[in-house]
Amino acid sequence: MAKTILLSVSILIIRCSLLISQVTTSSYIKTGNDSIFYEISGSGPTIVLIHDGLIHREVWDAQFIYFSKKYKVVRYDRRGYGKSSPATGNYSNLEDLNTLFTQLKIDRACLIGASSGGRLAIDFTLMYPQKASSMILIGAVVGGFSFTKHFNTRGGHLPSDLKDNQKESLYYASDDPYEIYHENKAAKNKLIELVKNNPTRIYGSQIIASQKTPAYKRLNEINIPVLILCGEFDIPDVHAHAGAINAGISNSRRIVIPKAGHLIPMEQPDLFNETVANFLKQIDNN
């Protein structure tokens, strides 16, 4: 009887611990006149999720829940996205990320960045190498590496009459052939909903620090473990950038995720989470 009670109490304690570890807190950091919204869940080594240029932090819903069981997970809205304010003047995504680290007292973290968020993760690691413990790059591009006409016109599909961010965002969500693989209908419907409910409001002008040497020529300076993921049906230029990143970073591995376009975390969340978890486990065990 005593053993049964003790076992029940132990199970209750474990369940309570899991619940406590997954409580989400949210607030804003201040940077100049603007506010950047963030959320934190879980405890343990820190992961920072950096969204792409189309949608805000909710692209990471499946990952935010999953990884907070073992890690302290931070996700945020870049300026002009989601709950963050539009930029009232010139701004730097790089320094915004550094401000997030400083104000949340993050010494070191694994950076998980999608698309332009992956470029930001690379730039941040080059600027602040002591603050990045590892990187997972999803459909990422790298500064200084070129794009083809096919990329800029989306293979000739991009309409020439898109006049504002909302129309352009809806094109990528609903019509673009590379953003979401056509079989992933639930992911496409969710993307359209997110875009409609969270119109992009960037304003201002982004300051991109000038570098004598572009980022793709400095990739050999990155010495942390890096995982590079590309969707099987993503646009060819993204695969080219992934190859350049893989070739430039000696401690990197590249994986192509089947039946996915550009937004792998939404399209193949279970496979994505499993792949990233295995990568992080290998790092933790070394």
C-alpha span between 271 and 265 (Å, rounded): 9
For the chain, which domains are there? 2-285 (3.40.50.1820)
pLDDT over 90, % of the chain: 81
- Give the pLDDT confidence of 168-193 residue by residue, as tens digits: 999 999 999 999 999 999 999 999 99
Report d(CA 268, CA 265) in Å as an integer.
6
Q: What is the pLDDT of residue 28?
A: 98
198: its two tokens: 């969270």
E strands present in the chain:
24-31, 34-41, 46-50, 72-76, 90-91, 109-114, 132-138, 205-206, 226-231, 252-257
Cβ-contact 116, 213 below 8 angstroms: no
pLDDT tens figures, 127-172: 999 999 999 999 999 999 999 999 999 999 999 888 777 889 999 9
Q: Which residues pair with 27 in a beta bridge?
A: 38
C-alpha–C-alpha distance, residues 181 and 271, integer Å: 15
